[in-house]
A and B are shown apart, each in its own frame.
Chain A
Amino acid sequence: MHELSVALSMIEGIADSAARDGFERVLAVHVRVGALSGIAPEALRFSWKLASAGTLAEDSTLNIEDVPLVVFCERCGSERKPRPASGLICPECATACPIIVRGRDLQLVAVEVPE
């Protein structure tokens, strides 16, 4: 529900990069969005159109990499993907796994800019 403010922060991050890396226009943007990030990909796409209008990223393509929730199961000694809405429970051994390895990601990864 705070996708618009996330999209606006992305524009800021891209503008900083533009000043640093010397580009004036963005063709595509890559982000990683974790299952626990609270961000709905469709809402982010919609907000991206609004936030990017009139900026260097206007009409850019937004590529969203969905990152599933991954926890570390201490009993199994390995990383596991809990089933949806099962909290942080290991699907193999049903142990509670409070160590979240991935899924909180909300990362501006890269942009594609004209040569």
Chain B
Amino acid sequence: MKYRVVSIEQNILRKNDALAQGLRARFAASGTLVVNLLSSPGSGKTTLLQETLARLSRRRRVGALVGDQATDNDARRLAASGAPVKQITTAAECRLDADMIGRALDGWEPGRLDALFIENVGNLICPAEYDLGEDLRIVLFSVTEGEDKPLKYPLAFNTAQLALITKIDIADAVGFDRDAANASIRHVNPGVSILETSARTGAGMDEWIAFVETLIDRKTAAREVSVR
């Protein structure tokens, strides 16, 4: 059959990118810091957030959205902190996207938030390509996962502004090689901040909370400037 070629040349994810920009504008207007947490299943996202919400909600308005494929266990664990939490059931989806965030926000009235934490689906590949309108992307990996993990999932580590090494309380027991882990993180992202935490013992938690609060203050100040 005779045919002609019609050039399209468009990014297949452009709709997500546009929706994410809409979310970013909305969060800028409310002065809400948005944090997107990426990791493999079991790296400690929910445990870190439990502790984070509990500590921050004493003096800040914080909430969380939790993506989970099947259960609402994580949402229930987080809601125990008293902070507003909403579950996003992703079913077969392997990542959250901007549309899911927009729809979750629509039916939810947590009041104005200083910070919104988003626990992404446990997966280091797919979520890396989906902008959620976040200010801060964090990638977590625990001391049990192998120091070369960043080399295997370069995009997730490359696009994050903070790498959190979790479960540092069991580092010695599992023979964690700190220098090797830091080197592989720096290999894919030389400028990234690195923190070590244990949600179990509280090690590193003060630094982590201080890091978030600095960003909250910056975001609130930016809103006050634009409101004036």
Contacts and interface: CB of A to CB of B under 8 A. Distances in A.
Interface of A: 1-2, 5-6, 9-10, 12-14, 17, 21, 23, 27-28, 31, 36-38, 85-89, 96, 98, 100, 104, 106-115
Interface stretch (B58-66, B165-173, B181-189): B181-189
A6 B152 contact: no
B13 interface: yes
Contacts of B3: 27-28, 112-115
Interface string B1-19: 1111111111111010000
Interface string B123-160: 10110110000000000000000000011101100100
Interface in B182-202: 184, 186-191
30 contacts: A1-B126, A2-B95, A5-B93, A5-B97, A10-B12, A12-B15, A13-B8, A27-B3, A38-B126, A38-B129, A38-B155, A87-B150, A87-B187, A88-B158, A88-B187, A96-B186, A98-B191, A100-B155, A104-B129, A104-B155, A107-B10, A107-B12, A108-B11, A109-B9, A110-B6, A112-B6, A113-B6, A114-B1, A115-B2, A115-B3
Contact of A106 (B12, B125, B184): B12
Interface residues of B, number: 36
B8 to A, nearest CB: 5
B56 interface: no
A31 B7 CA distance: 11
B203 interface: no
B6 A23 contact: yes
B94 interface: yes
A6 B125 CA distance: 15
B219 to A, nearest CB: 25
B4 A112 contact: yes
A27 B184 CA distance: 45
Q: Which of A98, A104, A110 has the most CB of B within 10 A?
A: A98
A69 B4 CA distance: 31
A13, A88, A113 — most chain B CB neighbours (10 Å): A88
A6 B188 contact: no
A107 to B, nearest CB: 6
Contacts of A36: 128, 154-155
A38 B8 contact: no
Contacts of B188: 87-88, 96, 98
B112 to A, nearest CB: 32
Contact of A1 (B8, B94, B151, B187): B94
Contacts of B13: 6, 9, 106
Nearest to B7: A110
B8 A17 contact: yes
Given A10-B12, A36-B155, A89-B187, A114 B129 contact: no
B1 A14 contact: no
B66 to A, nearest CB: 19
A23 B184 CA distance: 50
Which 10 A-B pairs give the minimum distances between C-beta atoms?
Answer: A87-B151, A1-B94, A115-B2, A96-B187, A38-B125, A112-B3, A87-B154, A106-B12, A36-B155, A110-B7
